[in-house]
Every structure is written in C-alpha cells, then in structure tokens.
Structure 1
Amino acid sequence: MTVLTHAFTPGPIVASGPVKLTLMAPVARFSLRLRATNIPAVSKAIGVDMATTVGVRAANGTTESICLGPDEWLIIAKPDDAETVTKACADVYSSATHSLTEVSAREVTVRIEGERASELLTIGCPRDIDSIPVGGGCRTVIDGVTVVLWRDAEQSFRMDIWRSFALHIIDLLCTGCKEFAAE
C-alpha cells in the first residue's frame, strides 16, 4: 500500500445544519479491470461477489466493491487489508488475468448526510441524485470534477474525490451548507 502523509485530517467539516460533511479516514482503494469470464475467480479470491451491473455494489465485511463500467470496479477495504487483497488477486492471476491497481492515495472520501443531503449534491451535479438507489452508486461529475458517489441511505452518501480536486469540491459543498443555514 502506498504510504502518504495525509494532508487532509479526518473529522467533521460542517457539523451543524441540515447537512453534515465529514472527511472520512483513508481506506485501501483499488481499481480493478477484468473480463466477465474472470469475475467468478477474482470475486472468490477477494471474498466479494462482484456485481456485473453498472452502479451496483457488493460487500463482505469491510471489503466493498462497486461496478463502474462493464469491465471496471472500484474496491475499498480497511488499510490493513490492502496486502490481503493484492495477494489474493496475485494468486489467481495466472488463471484469471486482470489489472489491479492500488489507488489508495489518489482520493479522499467525504460523507454527506442529513435531511437535505441529496439536495446539496444537486449543486453542480447534472445527475438525478434521487435516481441512485440506496445501496447503489455511480461515477458522476460535480462542477466538472469526476467523483464516485456511494448512496448508503436515503440521506447519507459517500463521495470519493481525487485529492487534487478535493479542496475545490469540499469548498463547493461547504458553500451549499452555508446557503442552507442562511435560509
């Protein structure tokens, strides 16, 4: 796993009002590409029955995956499990070729929750947030920045943001929270 001095400190960003923003602790994060015929072997190796429908998530314990495209998944796990995921995939590589790239340091995750969380996400996002089912997710854009949005509950989301764009997106979300507070 890549070790990076974390420039972002996990914890509350906005703690009051109709939406709360929290910077989440770092996770082990992997980009996985593979052909459909190799999904069963890799799923078994990492212990998660990976979905084959774009936007559908799967989890087993603290390891979670989301299908982002017909041959692309994002896998997250506890940082301590990064080596386990890497080894499991390496062990099946000869019979189930794939590309597993650790991208843990590439992104930060912000939790967005509260009674107006889905409304806040409409700031700069062309996607119909209400069409994302609870337990689903998607790759989308916020103010022109590509993000991965995980919907954990009706008004609870996680947003994975590339580190280089994180301050911009967090600032945009904070501005939206201030606008809600001013109403």
Structure 2
Amino acid sequence: MKVNLLPKPSWGRRHFFWGLLLVILWIMGFMAAVLWLFAFQEERISEARSNLARLAPVEKEVREQVRERDAFMKEHGPALAYVGAVDRLDRERLKWDEAISALEASLPPSAVVFDLQVKGSRLDGKGAFHTVNDVAFFTQMMEESESVASFAVDSIEKSETDPSLEVKPKKAWIVRFHLTLDKPAQKGDLP
C-alpha cells in the first residue's frame, strides 16, 4: 500500500486549468460581444449613409426652393406684408359709409339730420322731421337696415323747446337717436 505523505495540492492548483479555461471563455465571449456590436454599428452606419445618399437630391432641391423663396420674399415681402395689413385693416374697420348711406336712404324727403357724433361703434345724432309719421317711417327703416346693428330713438320733442336750434319749419319734431354698428370680425371669427 502506498501512503502519500505529501500535502494536498491547494484548491488553486487543483482547479487552475478550469479557471484558466473560464477566463479564456469569458474573454472570448467579451470579444464576440464587441465584434457583434461593431458589426451592428457598421450595419447601422451603412444604412444611415444609404439613407443620406438617397435623401441628398431631396435636400438639394429643398435648399434650392428655400433659396428661391427667400429671394422672392426679399424682393416682394414688403408688398405682401402691405397687402396683408390692408386686408386686415379692411376687415377690422367699421363700415361707417354703409351706415351713413342707410341713414340717408331712410330719411323722408322733408327731414334733415344734423349734429352727428361718433363714439367708438356708436353714432349719436339729431334730426328735424315735419311730422310724427316721418319719425315713425325713419325709425322703422333704420331698424330694418342690415348695415346697422341697433337703432334707438332717445327723445322726441318740438323744436320750440330748444331755442338754440334753428330748423325750418319752426314747429318741426326734433329727434335724438343713436345707432351702433357691428364690431368688425376679429382674427378668430374669420370663416
């Protein structure tokens, strides 16, 4: 029988080759992962380059269009801005010419309007009428007018009650009235 009196080899010596094999496998796995990542990135880069090459003519065309538009706007931009400002102001202005035309069309032939004053979208005025029927006709015509938002008679009195007024005939009916126009369309109200 043989008796081995030598000490047992250490754990590291007994399993050295297994450890070395494990380290080699780990390094090979790491290198494989790095190579796979490198190949994946190369594939992505080549896709990006092909997309860039495919889009290069489109980019060139778009840049040319932008250059042409900039040149056009440099030359015609102020005129276009002016036309836009005129259109906006025209939309926002109150249509006083239509209101005055409606007022003039609603007056009986013998009536006279005077002392017109504008405050915002409201027009205050006075009129001299020969008869009360003329006043009623004027009121009805103004209320039916499409260019006036609202019309109201404030007071009716004989011209004799106010000696500062010089109207003919002296016994005319003085009507104080006011009308308002629709507010112009704002940016959000456009169709």
TM-score (norm 1): 0.30
Larger radius of gyration: 2
Could you say which structure has the higher strand fraction?
1
Higher relative CO (CA 8 A, sep ≥ 6), structure 1 or 2? 1
